[in-house]
Structures are given as C-alpha cells and as structure tokens.
C-alpha cells in the first residue's frame, strides 16, 4: 500500500508541476550529435547525423533544412541536405570559442506541412559564467527589505474546506498579510491528519495567474504543503476571473515597475515567499527544522530566491528556474525567461539592467547554503540552459543536477520521483 501511494503521489506531482508534454509529430526530424552526452569542449567540432522518421521508419532521399548558431540568437549558418538511401545525412558544426550552447534546428516539409526538431549542445556548460554582476549593496538591500516586512503583522485568516478534504488530509484556504499593511499572500494548505509536528513544503507557482485548489499530493507523503500564489489575489475564485486578469491588468506583470528596484513587481513576491515561511514556522503541526521549497520555471526561480533569503528553508528543489542571468541578451548571448533587454533601443535599458541585478536568480544563488536538487533539459527554449547553468555554476552549497537532455520546458516522471526521494533522504523520511 505504501508503495502504491508513493507512485500515485509522484504521478500527481509530475502532472501538477509540469506543462503538458508536446504531442508526437507525424514526422519527427532529428539532429543527433556524435557525443552521447551532448557535451563538447570549447573549440571541439561536433558532427550531427540528421534524419526524419515517419511512422517509425527513416525517410530516404528526403531534403532537410538545417541551421545552427548560438542558443536563442541569429543562426550563423543555414543549409540543406538530402538523406541517403538509408535515411541519413550528416553535417559538421564548429566548436564554440567560449562556454555556452549551440542550437541546431532541422526541418522537412511533407505534403505541404512543415515538421521540425532541434538539439542544443553544450560546450563546457559547467564553465559558463553569468553576465550579471552582484551589486555592492545587494545584501544590504534585501536585509533591509526583510526587516521592514517582518514588522507587518501576519493577521492570518484560515478557511476549512471540508468538500476538498478527505480522511487523511485536511484542506484550508489561507490569507496572510505580507510586505505592507493591506497586502496579502493567498494559498491552499494541505495538512496530514497524523498527530505531531511534520515536515513542510512551500510550493511556489510557475508564471501566469491561476486558481489553486484541492489536496497537494505530497501531503499523502507526510508533508504539510502550502501552495501559494504570488500576485496578492485570492486563489479560490472562478477561473474566468484569472483569465480576465491575465489578459488585462496582470498582463506583462514581469515588467511592472522594473525601472526602480523598490517598485519592481517581484519585490512583493519575494518577500511574500518569506512571509509564507513565517506562517509555516508559526504552526504547531510543522517541524520548523524541516521546511523545503520547490517549484518549476517561475517557481524554480522563487525556490532559489526564498532559500537564499530565508535560512529557515533547509532544502530546495528547483526545476528549470526562470529569471537566471537575464542580462544575457544585453551582453550578446541568450538570457533567461522572461527574455529581457533584447531591444537595445529602450531609452531606460541601462536603468532596467541595473534593477534586474537585485532580482536575478544568479545573485541569490551565490548565497545559498542549503542542499538543493535541480533538473532541466538542454532543449528548453523558455528557460534556456545557458541561463540555468549560469546560476547553477555559482552555487557553492551541496547540489544535485539531473539533466534529461532531450526535454524542453517539462520533466520526465523519473526526475520528479528522484526529487521526492532526495527530499525524503534530506529529512530522514526514508
């Protein structure tokens, strides 16, 4: 029975955290590198085998278009090749001079429809250095912000949701005052009915404006789970309201106030995550020595930031974290989501770049002391690996990275299963 519940929890966790995996194309076009790990030394030439597969059969004598160049930037070369009678063609790709990623895009057209694929290869990815820099007063800025925010009373409101609870887990909707008077963090709390203090997880959301509801599957594994939003709006409203907000006043929220470090949108969000930790630590049913945070994309970003700001977090796992090295484009290479500073004609670009350094995940990663579990893929075009490696490489705390190279902005179930096992090991729950 215990094993069955673990498998169910892992499956539900995967479904809850990951975007839907892309549907299989009728024709799949492959660019297969000659290194099985997709990793090369700087300056080392790569050779690719290119082929298209239709109904599980390679397509002979088929024209395939290709291009390659620095990740997320303009292609350095484009061309066409025709597969041989066995369905294969080959191209050579020059090595990069500095650590980073090169993207090879391939496509073919069949009966008027275009089918495409990509492969992102790394050149010494463990040596990628961030383009962003650490402001001299970074620590002072955030310590001062935390001190001011801590003076705001929590004024917690909690509503029991019997219709969403069951015989093992109780569900509550909570509202916690945060950051300043009249500002709130809203979330859903899943509490196992087992007696005594329990380890807790702060679950942090990906980008978008959405509803949260129901039992978090990790509560069945013995964790108190607080699943929060970071927009200061209730999480239990009709989905239509969130759609209207996302298309209206909340559209482009990641850019709001970025001209000033004190008004940038994420200041409230970051401090709201710390306030959520305050709340968990205040609960008698939470073992305050065993609190973790996790999330993917924006949630991965918030996990690293929260653990960096609040040492009461004792472990974290972050999947393809966003907002890593966002100054990349400003300095001529790819940057992390939300892909800022591409337009160099922006008259406020210097000011915005300076503000971004107080919020970039790279600069929070420098101060991590807790063990962390990280996962992503080389083919992620949303939170590209140049950016995530920029953050990962500056972490000096204990760290585990599980890469599935062919994944984009999603995970395989084995990655989330390993993360859960890793966390249980950290908390002595094996």
231, 278, 303, 409: the active-site residue:
409
Q: Judge whether 409 counts as a catalytic residue.
A: yes
Q: What is the DSSP string of 96-148?
A: PSSSEEEEEEEEEEETTEEEEEEEEEEESGGG---S----TTHHHHHHHHHHH
310, 314, 380, 387: the active-site residue:
380
Instruction: Report in angstroms the alpha-carbon separations of 245 from 35, 181, 231, 255.
Output: 46, 23, 11, 15
Spatial contact of 52 and 27, defined as CB atoms under 8 Å apart: yes
178, 190, 269, 297: the active-site residue:
297
- The reply to whether omega before 370 is within 30° of 0 (cis) is no
The pair phi, psi for residue 73, each rounded to 5°, is -110, 180
What token pair was written down for 146? Answer: 């935390």
Spatial contact of 256 and 265, defined as CB atoms under 8 Å apart: yes
The Cα 377–Cα 422 span in angstroms is 19
The Cα 297–Cα 387 span in angstroms is 12
The Cα 239–Cα 241 span in angstroms is 5
Q: Judge whether 380 counts as a catalytic residue.
A: yes
What token pair was written down for 379? Answer: 């083919």
Residues acting as catalytic residues: 297, 380, 409
């Amino acid at each position: 029975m215990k094993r069955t519940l673990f498998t169910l929890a892992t499956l539900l966790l995967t479904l809850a955290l990951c975007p839907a995996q892309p549907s299989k194309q009728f024709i799949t076009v492959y660019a297969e590198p000659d290194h099985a790990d997709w990793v090369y030394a700087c300056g080392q030439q790569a050779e690719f085998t290119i082929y298209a597969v239709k109904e599980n059969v390679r397509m002979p004598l088929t024209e395939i278009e290709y291009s390659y160049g620095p990740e997320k930037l303009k292609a350095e070369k484009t061309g066409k090749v025709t597969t041989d009678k066995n369905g294969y063609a080959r191209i050579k790709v020059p090595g990069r001079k500095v650590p980073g990623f090169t993207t090879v895009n391939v496509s073919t057209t069949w009966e008027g429809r275009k089918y495409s694929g990509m492969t992102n290869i790394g050149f010494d990815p463990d040596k990628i250095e961030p383009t962003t820099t650490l402001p001299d007063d970074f620590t002072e800025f955030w310590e001062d912000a935390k001190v001011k925010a801590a003076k705001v009373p929590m004024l917690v409101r909690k509503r029991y949701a019997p219709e969403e609870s069951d015989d093992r887990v109780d569900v509550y909707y909570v509202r916690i005052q945060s950051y300043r008077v009249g500002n709130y963090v809203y979330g859903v709390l899943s509490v196992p009915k087992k007696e005594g203090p329990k380890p807790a997880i702060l679950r942090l959301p990906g980008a978008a404006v959405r509803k949260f509801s129901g039992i978090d599957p990790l509560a069945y594994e013995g964790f108190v789970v607080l699943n929060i939003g970071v927009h200061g709006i209730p999480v239990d409203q009709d989905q239509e309201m969130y759609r209207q907000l996302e298309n209206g006043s909340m559209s482009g929220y990641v850019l709001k106030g970025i001209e000033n470090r004190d008004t940038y949108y994420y200041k409230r969000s970051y401090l709201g995550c710390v306030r959520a930790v305050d709340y968990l630590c205040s609960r008698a049913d939470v073992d305050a020595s065993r609190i973790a945070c996790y999330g993917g994309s924006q949630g991965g970003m918030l996990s690293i930031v929260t653990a960096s700001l609040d040492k009461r977090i004792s472990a974290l796992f972050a999947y393809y974290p966003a907002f890593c090295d966002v100054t990349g484009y400003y300095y001529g290479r790819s940057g992390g989501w939300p892909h800022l500073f591409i337009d160099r004609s922006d008259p406020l670009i210097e000011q915005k770049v300076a503000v971004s350094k107080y919020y970039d995940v790279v600069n929070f990663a420098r101060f991590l002391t807790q063990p962390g579990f990280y996962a992503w893929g080389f083919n992620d075009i949303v939170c590209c690996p140049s950016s995530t490696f920029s953050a990962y490489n500056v972490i000096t705390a204990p760290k585990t990275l599980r890469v599935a190279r062919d994944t984009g902005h999603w995970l395989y179930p084995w990655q989330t299963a390993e993360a859960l096992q890793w966390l249980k090991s950290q908390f002595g729950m094996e």
